[in-house]
Amino acid sequence: MARSMLASLAALCGLYACGGSSEGSAGGQAGNGSQVGGTGSSGSGSDGANGNNGSSGSITNAPVIPGGGVTAGPLQPGCGPETAQECAPPGGGCNSDAFLEGKVEVKDAGSTCFFGEDSDVPSATVEHITEVSAGEEYVHLRVIFDPDFVDTTYGECSAETGWNSKRGHTLKDLYKSDHVELKLYDCDDELAMHFKLDFIEDGMPTDCGYASAGVTGGDGKMFVGDPDHVLATTSSLDRNMNGCGYCDEESSPCPGGEGYEVSPDAPEWDFRMVYELWVSAEAFGSAGFCRPGIEYVHASPAKGKSDTVLVEPDECPPPDGPPPEEDCPPNYELFLASEGEYLCAGPPTNGECPDGYELDLESEGARCIEQR
């Protein structure tokens, strides 16, 4: 059953109060970005920037990237490899209550942002969660590219999102060469895995005929590590097509307005270029996973002058914080919504909400949230 967006985010931000372990990867150097549960020292590596592990019980989400549709939200625990081709429920996550039922142990989580030269906006964000589910430990990673660099719009409305009006952007453009090259370091700061992950490939054995070909097919390629340690891969277009059922090869859905507003015809469509994978903890040995590395972002074509942008890691800009004067009604608390803003939320009184609040339909009326 789809969980409430606010309930899911509250569970994520209260990670360790919900049964996750407060012990992270032991020792070693931590890459840049926010993390929870880690006990390693701050440090740097060839692809990482100086950084510190966060304190146990806290998590800093990557900045909200526009264009995710109604299913957008932070990477959430409890979504294993078996969910790779699901259409995510409203607010993100997956159709699983395993984490909330205490069946998933979160060992570590964090995010890193990668910036092009002289840019204040991340060219890519990488979120990661190390967790144990059904006796199997794995690292769940998600990479999101800046939609001003590339997006998943193709066909009739591609010019509306910044693509060249004469050339346009086609589905073929997306499956011909698009990939992300990713390095994964253990907590001894040793390179454990290095690969290219394919975005989408045609001729695949799915209902739509398209899917991510992983690290060994399409534009995927393994440089360091065992490909058998990659448990599953997917992408936003893979989910759009195979999970949500949008198989039109000529034209993608169109945004509902500026800033990638939700499409009225396809509210689940993710306009962002998103890469996602699950890697067995065995790939990192006893040291455990610590940080990701990206040297460039690539799309062919991209919207700008160059199809490839060199990037460097740095701290992620935080989501907009709550105004200092923000006061919630009695028994209400501030929650961080997936759009990156703080909202007051709490239980209704006799089924009614106070002035300025409305029932949260995703929670089936179990809470009131601020009207926006």
Give the pTM. Answer: 0.76
pLDDT tens, per residue, the chain with 372 residues: 333 333 333 334 333 333 333 333 333 333 345 554 443 322 333 343 333 223 222 344 678 889 999 988 888 889 999 999 999 888 788 888 787 678 989 899 999 999 999 999 999 999 999 999 999 999 999 999 999 999 999 999 999 999 998 899 999 999 988 999 999 999 999 999 999 999 999 999 999 999 999 999 999 999 999 999 999 999 999 999 999 999 999 999 999 999 899 999 999 999 999 999 999 999 999 999 999 999 999 999 999 989 999 999 998 887 655 454 557 777 777 665 555 566 788 888 888 888 889 988 777 777 888 887
Count of beta carbons in the 10 Å neighbourhood of residue 202:
16
Tell whether 89 and 171 lie within a shared domain: yes
CA-based angle 186:53:222, to the nearest 5?
25
Tell whether 225 and 258 lie within a shared domain: yes
* 214 within a domain of the structure (yes/no): yes
* 71 within a domain of the structure (yes/no): yes
From residue 284, give the alpha-carbon distance in Å to each of 21, 48, 137, 240.
Answer: 19, 17, 11, 31
Tell whether 65 and 203 lie within a shared domain: yes
Q: In 113-225, which residue ranges form alpha helices assigned H by DSSP?
A: 171-176
Beta-bridged to residue 127, according to DSSP, are 111, 142
Tell whether 287 and 237 lie within a shared domain: yes
* 320 within a domain of the structure (yes/no): no
Q: How far apart are CA 218 and CA 198, in angstroms?
A: 6
Quote the DSSP letter at residue 10: H
Are the CB atoms for 170 and 154 separated by under 8 Å? yes
Closest CA to 197 of 93, 312, 298: 298
Are the CB atoms for 343 and 6 separated by under 8 Å? yes
> Residue 133's domain spans which residues?
5-314
Tell whether 275 and 170 lie within a shared domain: yes
Domain total in the chain: 2
